[in-house]
């Protein structure tokens, strides 16, 4: 993808981003203005259950439990019993007493009520609740029932004990102020806490909770300062003692002294019990224990307050806005990771705020995040598919050099999305085929080729290059210098590889030459690679194999030396004979003619060898199925007169008419075997033996020529088959000429091998190894 087209795609995505920004923020704000109780409550209950804040040991619950009912009697109890409890707590030296028990109706003639009032007056620290009756008719103010006058007049404080149940029936919140307009009373727990502050037993604070106008407010009834109860654990978390055990003196004064005592019902089926977030398997929590949790939070300075509507709406938009900004900064990448991160951060922020005493309901933010995520996935994919469709149509209109496997018409069924996906698949296949075509084309180049960047690091290499450095799997990311150093001899590193500073720029490598460990010679050619995307995409480095040209030049040099010496020698000898014959030292006519004939035949033999070598090197061979045994017999027949003239015996082994089927040119093969026999006869003494054998071993056919001649020195054997090569005259009467070079060339043309084993003054053995003809015998 070019820079221009990618920027165009980004602009299209940015437009969608801006549109979704407005939609997502507006939707999140609307969601935040609604109360998704179930989702928010589930998060809140889980977080509040993880609270690790300890309970305050100064708070003690005196419980009207099942034991107390058995020992004292049926409920309600006489006010005299409560008066006795107040006196007992006063004598024990408690700091304050909060009675979570209603005293609304007179008992008998009122003496018991007065006794309780007197006990409360003596204590001076007893707090009692008032009651609120339900509304008689919709819109009518609730009826408030204060405690009896004897009790109310002697109470240290009076307050309401109402709680707020959510739609799921669980109690999580309550109002710290509630009542008839002009007679608003605080919550009983706040009244107790306020007195503790005045006595220096607790740190004061302003009444928490924003002054929120409740939906239950009427012109004559008002409630505000809504807070959430900071529960410290499941029911039973606070220390408690039985009501009857306190009356009976079973609880020592040391346990009661300086404690803040909350008296309330906890027995089964008695008093007020509520479902709370931390009740768990316990089912419900007694009202007195809810008051204990609230008092504990007030004394610790930790009460959970709710955000106002405006603040809640603005904060709910923050995660959505942060996700969209992060997506824009990352240039539309990592959307899944950013979504998961933002959900996690939202939940973490909610938990942190709750730990700081602020409840931020996360439901609106989470739904806003999900809404934006779904819309973004839809719109971005739609834009990308549409962009791909346009680009693929543009690609289809361009000339296509890639050969197609088969014609395929465009998809004509399915929805627009299906057709775009199929078009995208076709475009990807075309791009993949184009890339493969370029790779195959690079591999098909006849020369070693590397594609390198500006730092001479290999970006691509064709098959010949990979095989040259001995790493068929690939040399990408290698430095070109390091790759070439693996193939050059360690003692012959060329200057352009050894002097890294001087030849740091690959452009200076152009025209440099080197040879590898196998003797192959190369010339480096450097060309810049220009593309439509970037002006400078790298460099094409080609290693042109100059081995053939180099060997041809060497052969020309050898040939010139051969023509100037070996071909010149017989003619010079003939001129010398003619000059001598015209002088005083003339030879007899017979001897003169014999010597002249030998020189003429030597020159003719050299010319014939030269012509045969040229034919096999540059001419077309007539390949057909032949039998190596027949070729060996023909060569023996031609060599027999030479052997007879020198007194040498020719022997043959394993020669038959069906032996050794090969694929070759019979004429050149007979000449090659004859050359070996001729050399063996030439360099063998009289009365010696020359042996010719043919045998087949598996898929190979082997021909061997052995003699008992003067042999060849071991240091000459590696150069034995080179054209125009001359050897030590001490080992050979004359040079081997072009005969063995002809044999080697014939073997190369037939995909065969030639080997020589020789011991000086003991003889030599030449072995011709051919591949057997596969269709023989079919």
Query: pLDDT tens-digit profile of 112-168?
Result: 999 999 999 999 999 999 988 766 566 666 778 889 999 999 999 999 998 888 888
Predicted local distance difference test score (pLDDT) of residue 372: 86
**Hey, is 393 helix, strand or coil?**
helix
The DSSP 8-state label assigned to residue 280 in this structure reads: G
**Is residue 679 domain-shared with residue 692, that is, in the same domain?**
yes
Number of C-beta neighbours around residue 434 at 10 A: 14
> What is the separation, in whole angstroms, between the first and last Cα of the chain?
59
DSSP track, 344-358? HHHHHHHHHHHHTTE
| Residue 408 domain-assigned (yes or no) | no
d(CA 522, CA 542): 9
Contact 467, 484 (CB under 8 A): no
Chain CA centroid to CA 123, Å: 75
The DSSP 8-state label assigned to residue 53 in this structure reads: P
Of 257, 278, 301, the one marking the end of a domain is: 301
| Residue 230 domain-assigned (yes or no) | yes
DSSP track, 559-601? HHHHHHHTTHHHHHHHHHHHHHHHSTTPPPHHHHHHHHHHHHH
Q: The domain that contains 478 carries what CATH number?
A: 3.30.450.20
**Is residue 333 domain-shared with residue 271, that is, in the same domain?**
no
The DSSP 8-state label assigned to residue 446 in this structure reads: S
Of 545, 566, 588, the one marking the end of a domain is: 545
**Is residue 598 domain-shared with residue 640, that is, in the same domain?**
no
d(CA 295, CA 55): 10
d(CA 224, CA 132): 16
| Residue 428 domain-assigned (yes or no) | no
Query: pLDDT tens-digit profile of 286-326?
Result: 999 999 999 999 998 888 888 888 888 898 899 988 888 88
| Residue 407 domain-assigned (yes or no) | no
**Is residue 693 domain-shared with residue 764, that is, in the same domain?**
yes
d(CA 132, CA 174): 14
**Is residue 523 domain-shared with residue 559, that is, in the same domain?**
no
Contact 494, 514 (CB under 8 A): yes
| Residue 490 domain-assigned (yes or no) | yes
- Which tokens go with 357? 């005493």
d(CA 251, CA 61): 13
| Residue 433 domain-assigned (yes or no) | no
φ, ψ of residue 563 to 5 degrees: the values are -65, -35
**Is residue 278 domain-shared with residue 312, that is, in the same domain?**
no
Contact 370, 319 (CB under 8 A): no
Predicted local distance difference test score (pLDDT) of residue 250: 92
Predicted local distance difference test score (pLDDT) of residue 527: 87
**Is residue 540 domain-shared with residue 552, that is, in the same domain?**
no
pTM (2 decimals)?
Answer: 0.55
Q: Which residues of the chain have pLDDT under 50?
A: 1-4, 214-215, 407-409, 729-736, 776-778
| Residue 430 domain-assigned (yes or no) | no
Predicted local distance difference test score (pLDDT) of residue 220: 64
Chain CA centroid to CA 548, Å: 48
Q: The domain that contains 589 carries what CATH number?
A: 1.10.287
**Is residue 658 domain-shared with residue 675, that is, in the same domain?**
yes
**Is residue 203 domain-shared with residue 226, that is, in the same domain?**
yes
Predicted local distance difference test score (pLDDT) of residue 1: 46
For residue 2, say if its preceding peptide bond is cis, omega within 30 degrees of 0: no
Number of C-beta neighbours around residue 302 at 10 A: 16
**Hey, is 177 helix, strand or coil?**
strand
Query: pLDDT tens-digit profile of 117-131?
Result: 999 999 999 999 998
Contact 379, 413 (CB under 8 A): no
| Residue 766 domain-assigned (yes or no) | yes
Question: Which residue range forms the structural domain that includes residue 570?
Answer: 546-619
d(CA 709, CA 345): 97
Domain count, the chain: 5
Would strands 661-664 and 624-627 be described as parallel, antiparallel, or unpaired?
Answer: antiparallel
Predicted local distance difference test score (pLDDT) of residue 245: 94
d(CA 48, CA 526): 73
Q: How far is CA 230 from CA 44, 52, 233, 266, in A?
A: 11, 11, 9, 20
**Is residue 478 domain-shared with residue 597, that is, in the same domain?**
no
Which residues are CB-contacts of 49 (< 8 A; sequence separation ≥ 6)? 277, 278, 280
Of 301, 317, 346, the one marking the end of a domain is: 301
Predicted local distance difference test score (pLDDT) of residue 2: 47
Predicted local distance difference test score (pLDDT) of residue 4: 45
**Is residue 537 domain-shared with residue 561, that is, in the same domain?**
no
Residue spans of alpha helices (H) in 161-263: 188-198, 243-247, 253-256
**Is residue 457 domain-shared with residue 593, that is, in the same domain?**
no
The DSSP 8-state label assigned to residue 165 in this structure reads: E
Contact 205, 302 (CB under 8 A): no
């Amino acid at each position: 993808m070019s820079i221009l087209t990618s920027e165009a795609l980004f602009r299209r995505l940015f437009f969608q981003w801006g549109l979704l920004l407005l939609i997502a923020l507006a939707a999140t704000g609307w969601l935040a203005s609604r109360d998704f109780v179930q989702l928010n409550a589930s998060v809140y209950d889980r977080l509040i259950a993880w609270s690790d804040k300890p309970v305050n040991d100064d708070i003690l619950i005196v419980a009207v439990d099942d034991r107390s009912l058995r020992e004292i009697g049926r409920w309600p109890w006489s006010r005299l019993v409560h008066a006795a409890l107040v006196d007992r707590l006063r004598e024990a030296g408690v700091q304050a007493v909060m009675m979570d028990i209603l005293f609304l109706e007179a008992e008998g003639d009122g003496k018991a009520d007065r006794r309780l009032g007197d006990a409360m007056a003596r204590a001076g620290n007893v707090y009692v609740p008032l009651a609120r009756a339900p509304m008689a008719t919709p819109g009518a103010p609730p009826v408030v029932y204060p405690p009896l006058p004897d009790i109310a007049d002697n109470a240290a404080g009076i307050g309401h004990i109402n709680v707020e149940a959510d739609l799921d029936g669980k109690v999580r919140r309550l109002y710290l102020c509630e009542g008839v307009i002009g007679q608003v009373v605080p919550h009983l727990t706040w009244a107790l806490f306020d007195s503790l502050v005045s006595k220096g037993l607790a740190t004061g604070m302003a009444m928490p909770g924003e002054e929120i106008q409740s939906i239950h407010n009427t012109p004559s009834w008002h409630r505000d300062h809504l807070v959430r109860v900071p529960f410290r654990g499941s029911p039973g978390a606070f220390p408690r003692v039985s009501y009857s055990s306190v009356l009976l003196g079973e609880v020592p004064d040391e346990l009661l002294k300086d404690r803040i005592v909350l008296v309330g019902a906890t027995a089964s089926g008695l008093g007020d019990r509520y479902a709370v977030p931390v009740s768990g398997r316990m089912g419900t929590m007694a009202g007195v224990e809810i008051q204990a949790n609230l008092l504990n939070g007030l004394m610790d300075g930790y009460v959970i307050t709710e955000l106002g509507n405006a603040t809640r709406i603005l904060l709910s938009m923050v995660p959505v806005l942060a996700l969209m900004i992060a997506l824009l900064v990352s240039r539309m990448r990592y959307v899944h990771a950013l979504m998961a991160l933002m959900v996690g951060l939202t939940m973490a922020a909610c938990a942190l705020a709750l730990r700081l005493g602020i409840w931020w309901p996360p439901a609106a933010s989470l739904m806003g995040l999900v809404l934006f995520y779904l819309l973004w996935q839809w719109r971005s994919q739609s834009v990308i598919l549409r962009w791909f469709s346009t680009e693929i149509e543009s690609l289809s209109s361009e000339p296509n050099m890639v050969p197609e496997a088969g014609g395929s018409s465009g998809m004509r069924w399915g929805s627009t999305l299906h057709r775009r996906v199929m078009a995208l698949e076709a475009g990807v296949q075309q791009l993949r085929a184009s890339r493969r075509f370029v790779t195959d084309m690079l591999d098909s180049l006849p020369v070693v080729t590397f594609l390198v960047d500006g730092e001479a690091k290999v970006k691509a290499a064709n098959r010949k290059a990979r095989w040259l450095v001995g790493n068929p799997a690939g040399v990408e990311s290698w430095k070109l210098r390091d790759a070439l150093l693996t193939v050059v001899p360690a003692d012959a590193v060329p200057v352009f590889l050894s002097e890294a500073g001087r030849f740091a720029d690959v452009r200076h490598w152009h025209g440099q030459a080197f040879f590898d460990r196998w003797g192959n010679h190369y010339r480096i050619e450097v060309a810049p690679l220009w593309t439509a995307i970037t002006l400078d995409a790298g460099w094409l480095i080609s290693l042109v194999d100059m081995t053939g040209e180099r060997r041809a030049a060497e052969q020309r040099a050898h040939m010139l030396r051969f023509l100037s010496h070996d071909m010149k020698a017989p003619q010079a000898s003939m001129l010398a004979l003619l000059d001598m014959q015209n002088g005083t030292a003339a030879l007899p006519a017979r001897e003169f003619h014999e010597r002249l004939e030998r020189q003429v035949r030597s020159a003719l033999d050299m010319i014939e060898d030269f012509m045969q070598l040229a034919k096999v090197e540059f001419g077309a061979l007539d390949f057909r199925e032949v039998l190596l045994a027949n070729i060996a017999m023909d060569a023996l027949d031609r060599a027999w007169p030479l052997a007879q003239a020198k007194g040498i015996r020719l022997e043959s082994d394993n020669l038959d008419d069906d032996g050794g089927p090969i694929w070759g040119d019979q004429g050149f093969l007979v000449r090659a075997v004859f050359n070996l026999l001729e050399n063996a006869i030439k360099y063998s003494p009289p009365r010696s033996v020359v042996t010719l054998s043919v045998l087949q071993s598996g898929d190979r056919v082997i021909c061997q020529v052995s003699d008992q001649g003067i042999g060849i020195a071991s240091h000459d054997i590696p150069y034995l088959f080179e054209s125009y090569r001359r050897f030590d005259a001490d080992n050979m009467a004359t040079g081997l000429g072009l005969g063995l070079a002809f044999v080697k060339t014939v073997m190369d043309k037939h995909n065969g091998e030639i080997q020589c084993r020789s011991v000086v003054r003991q003889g030599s053995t030449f072995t011709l190894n051919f591949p057997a003809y596969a269709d023989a015998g079919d």
